[in-house]
Every structure is written in structure tokens, then in C-alpha cells.
Amino acid sequence: MNRASPRMRRFARHLIDINALENSGNLVTSAAFPVTDTLRPHLKMLMGTGGTRQLLARAITLATVEVSWLHAVRVTERSELEGLDQIRCLIDPVEFLEGRVILLAQLLGLLVAFIGPTLTSRMVGEFWPQIPFRDRNFGEDNKNEDAS
């Protein structure tokens, strides 16, 4: 199984931080997974509900290799993540945040693989325009960064 690249992890953490600061000002205890809630409607337009559900399920499967507690998270028929709120009460907030980062990094990596770096970058830029293009450039030019 593939682990999330360091660059994708950093980017996922950055997205979570931005979202938390915009919504609550608290990086560790914000809503369970609002970044996915933001992306879901657009993903459904691109891939349909079934495709979105499968994409999220695959991201969970990949992330579970690194974060075992994610095995309790399920994707509902409406492509929503179920179980994060319950888990959040049971584990350390920092561990919960790290799991969210890895899950989002896997989701973003799958998007780059399936719809391409350009469309993924545009989608992220549409929802988070404050992120400069150079930070959301998922193209081939950045592969060397993962090795560092």
C-alpha cells in the first residue's frame, strides 16, 4: 500500500489548518472532517455519488495502513464519512488531527491520480483561493520534493 507523500501531508495539514482557522479558530478540535464536506458536492458532480463513495472508501483504506483507528470510519450511501465524531471523543486530539491529515492526503493523492493534477489544483483553488498556485501545484515538477 502507498503511504501519503510528505508533500501531500504538508498540503493536507495546510488545508485543515486554513479551514479550522476560518471556521472556529481551533486547529485541533474543529469539526471532524469539514474539508471533505466542502469538496463532496464538487466530487459528486464530477464522479457521481457512487464514484465519490468509492473514492472516499479507497482513501480510508489507504490511510488505515498508517492510522489504524480509521478502520472504524465508514462512507455512507450519501458519500459522507461516518464514525469520525465518535472516534474523536475516544482518542488524543493530536492523534485525531494526524489521522485527518493522512486521510486527506490520501484523498488528494487519489484525486491527482484519477482526475489529474490540473483539475485537482483548480478544484482546491476554487474552494481555497487564498492558497497560491505554487502551493497547490500537484504536477510532475514537484515529484523531487517528495524525496526530501
User: What residues in the chain have per-residue pLDDT under 50?
Assistant: 25-30, 141-148
pLDDT at site 28:
46
Residue 125 CA to residue 58 CA, distance in Å, equals: 23
Q: How far is CA 78 from CA 75, 81, 82, 109, 140, in A?
A: 8, 9, 10, 22, 33
pLDDT, tens digit, for every residue of 11-42? 999 999 888 777 664 444 435 678 888 899 99
Contact 117, 137 (CB under 8 A): yes
Q: How far is CA 80 from CA 14, 45, 64, 99, in A?
A: 22, 15, 17, 17
Residue 9 CA to residue 127 CA, distance in Å, equals: 19
